[in-house]
Chains A and B, each alone.
Chain A
Amino acid sequence: MTLVADAPASGPAPEAPIEAFTVTLIIRRFDPDVDDEPRWQDFDVQMFATDRILDALHKIKWEQDGSLTFRRSCAHGICGSDAMRINGRNRLACKTLIKDLDITKPIYVEAIKGLPLEKDLIVDMEPFFASYREVQPFLQSATEPPKDKERIQSVADRARFDDTTKCILCAACTSSCPVFWTDGQYFGPAAIVNAHRFIFDSRDEAASTRLDILNDKEGVWRCRTTFNCTDACPRGIQVTQAIAEVKQAIMRGKP
């Protein structure tokens, strides 16, 4: 039995194909086994306006140059793996859409600054996490919680530090900070944000310890309020404001 083509179905008219653009990416490459210093390499990729920089990197890695190295895990702006410097601004590659960039010019992609470059877009995150650990980012309380109950907190008390709970530790803020770029002692915005999250938590009892740590010569006082961190944060945390609140808490001597 042969199939006979039906008469054209009376469905919706076929949609026009989605327009694709040729986008040029100039990526700062560094292979420690071959290169003496980082070099810029350009790639042309066909992208849709709704694609992200991460899709462009995938396309390059899968179709053009498998040696391109970058970190990404969830690819949806939650894990904080793919922070990179896109056109000179720290962004998550998975949250930066092609349509939001000027594709008449090449798009520059490089690793975040201030941390040791390991390969292509990958940096050593250890200094970042070292200063994160230094502010003791965990709940500390000498009092036992009510038996078989959680520690109760009012809605207002929870709202006090709500903004800084959103941090995903992607290092976009810290590696956008001009003080962090050179000063090996400075904690960087992310560590202060995570200290803020516990300093202003009504259930936590170690606020004075953390304020003491951050009152160091190179603690919060090195902050120049350039707002690079607030601009870079993919979660929209008001980072500079959080740092200012910690400064005020130190002056007051309590949260």
Chain B
Amino acid sequence: MATTIESPRAPHTVRRSRGVNWEKWGWIYMRASGVVLLVLIFGHLFVNLLVGDGIKAIDFAFVGGKWSDPFWQVWDTLMLWLAMIHGGNGMRTIVNDYATKAVTRKVLLGAILVAVVAMIVLGTLVIYTFDPCPVGSPAELLPSFCATR
């Protein structure tokens, strides 16, 4: 009886008709977002860790102060969205490269999607609804610049 070893690759199917070429736009997105992220991340690190008192200045008030400035709100939002989608797409391609079973692939891709969407939604919510001086909080828990203190 002859043993046949099955082909290690997924079966070749007829190529689909053209629509939006997501794989191409994903590839372009990775390059474009990568360049922008370089500026955003190193700008973020420079401002947080090197300018002024450097790392010692970082506390609740520092973050609260940054997010009361629309410039840093937009900066952090951009960084969040670009980085999460960049990382998520990278994870997606790794799963596509190495997950051989269709079920494993679906589960992993689903988990990545859920994680990315959750992080983006939560992060964006925090950036724009963040209130360093919530009304009715005990004064000793509030940062020094709050009017109630």
Contact = CB atoms under 8 A, between A and B. Distances in A.
A180 interface: yes
B2 A182 contact: no
Nearest to B27: A221
Interface string B53-95: 0000000000000000000000000000000000000000100
B129 interface: no
B10 interface: yes
Contacts of A19: none
Nearest to A131: B12
Given A178-B97, A224-B97, A127 B23 contact: no
Interface in B1-20: 1-13, 15-16
A185 B13 contact: yes
Contacts of A37: 3, 5
Contacts of B42: none
B96 interface: yes
Contacts of B3: 32-33, 35-37
B144 interface: no
Interface string A58-86: 00000000000000000000000000000
Given A116-B7, A180-B9, A217 B97 contact: no
B10 A185 contact: yes
Contact of B23 (A32, A116, A178, A217): A217
Nearest to A182: B100
A45 interface: no
- A-side interface mostly: loop
A216 B13 CA distance: 13
B26 A221 contact: yes
20 contacts: A32-B4, A32-B5, A36-B3, A37-B3, A116-B5, A116-B6, A178-B97, A181-B9, A182-B8, A184-B7, A184-B11, A184-B12, A185-B12, A185-B15, A216-B21, A217-B21, A217-B22, A221-B23, A222-B96, A224-B97
B9 A117 contact: no
A85 to B, nearest CB: 13
A218 B21 CA distance: 10
Given A179-B97, A218-B15, 19 more contacts: A32-B2, A32-B5, A37-B3, A114-B9, A116-B8, A181-B8, A182-B9, A183-B9, A183-B10, A183-B96, A185-B12, A216-B21, A217-B23, A218-B23, A221-B26, A221-B27, A222-B96, A224-B93, A251-B28
Contacts of B12: 127, 130, 184-185
Nearest to A113: B8
A182 B15 contact: no
A136 interface: no
Contact of B21 (A38, A113, A221): A221
A117 B24 contact: no
A215 interface: yes
